[in-house]
Amino acid sequence: QTHKKSRRPQRRRKTREKNAAWCIRPVSDVCHRSIRLCIHHRLLGVRQCAQRFSAVGIRYGKYCGVGWSGCPGEKPCDDLDACCKIHDECVDKKGLTNIKCHEKFKRCIKKVQKSAKVGFSRECPYDTVVPTMVQGMDMAILLSQLGGSKFEL
């Protein structure tokens, strides 16, 4: 005898896997041109929050993602997007290899994840996006450390 309840957890798991795959896109995807899109969005009056990943990584909200710093004057979509905005402002001011900016960003996004708040995106929930962002920042910190090292031969 088949029970309907036995199928439901499997459906939920598939939905979660599908959502995670939707948020994480391969490097072969087309790169997002933030300035051109920003101008295009302003002309059309579009004020949407993205919930996918670009060619290099995350594209979440208006400020999250490599090479994506949002449109000036736009409010962040949620608390996670606000962390990204603060990080963008920090690296703009102090440089892309500033480890303190990356560490502050990691603390901010982990705090958002622990807050139990729900972000704007149902397709890319905090539990999917934050671990990927943390990994990205760990890689940025590592590369910043390597770039700052002097090797002797």
Q: How far apart are the first and last CA of the chain?
A: 72
Residue 32 in contact with residue 38, Cβ under 8 Å? no
Query: How distant, in Å, are the alpha carbons of 1, 33, 54, 118, 145 from that of 141?
Result: 55, 25, 21, 28, 6
Q: Which of 3, 40, 41, 87 is catalytic?
A: 87
Q: How many CB atoms lie within 10 A of CB 108?
A: 18
Q: Which two tokens stand for residue 47?
A: 């004020």
DSSP helix/strand/coil, 124: coil
Catalytic, 102? Answer: no
DSSP helix/strand/coil, 64: strand
Q: Could you give the residue numbers annotated as active site?
A: 87
